């Protein structure tokens, strides 16, 4: 991936609905090679999908929580079972394996605290292999950018 590909990614990460012509004009390349580069980025798995940036609060999901989870063991079976369960929970918008005192950090969105509390009690606390759960509630967002950092 070269600098032109990075410029294409940056342009599309700000607005994925842009026309190829608009992207080409911004990066200073003609339409045909820009289209070819976009297709190559898609075929190579660098562009995985095109999505929409939703105002979650206006959509009714005003509560963001970070959930820090500690597993009973880090053996392959426990990890695979946990990750498989997490992959099938639509409430979990992101899940990262981390270093430090916790094993995973999950990002989740809910309508309100009551909805999260129900989910915590009926789903998270019932996941196999979980030793501990800690939650931090987001009380304000300073920055939440989708575009690439360059």
Domain around 101: 63-137
What pLDDT score does 144 carry? 80
With respect to residue 50, please indicate whether it lies within any of the assigned structural domains: no
The pTM (predicted TM-score) of the whole model is 0.82
Structure tokens at 40: 């190559």
Q: Are residues 19 and 78 in the same domain?
A: no
Q: Are residues 129 and 69 in the same domain?
A: yes
pLDDT in tens, 101-146: 999 999 999 999 999 999 999 999 999 999 999 999 999 989 887 6
With respect to residue 81, please indicate whether it lies within any of the assigned structural domains: yes
Q: Are residues 70 and 122 in the same domain?
A: yes
CATH of residue 36's domain is 1.10.10.10
Dihedral (Cα; 39, 42, 46, 50), 10-degree rounding: 120
With respect to residue 146, please indicate whether it lies within any of the assigned structural domains: no
């Amino acid at each position: 991936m070269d600098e032109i590909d990075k410029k294409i990614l940056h342009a599309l990460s700000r607005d994925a609905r842009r026309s190829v012509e608009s992207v080409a004009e911004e990066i200073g390349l003609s339409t045909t090679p820009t289209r070819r580069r976009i297709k190559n980025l898609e075929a190579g798995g660098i562009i995985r999908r095109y999505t929409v940036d939703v105002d979650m609060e206006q959509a009714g999901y005003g509560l963001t929580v970070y959930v820090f989870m500690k597993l009973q063991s880090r053996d392959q079976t426990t990890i695979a079972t946990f990750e498989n369960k997490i992959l099938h929970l639509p409430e979990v918008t992101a899940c990262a394996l981390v270093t430090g005192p916790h094993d995973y950090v999950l990002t989740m969105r809910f309508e309100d605290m009551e909805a999260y509390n129900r989910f915590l009690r009926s789903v998270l606390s019932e996941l196999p292999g979980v030793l501990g759960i800690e939650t931090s509630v987001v009380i304000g967002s300073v920055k939440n950018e989708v575009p690439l950092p360059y």
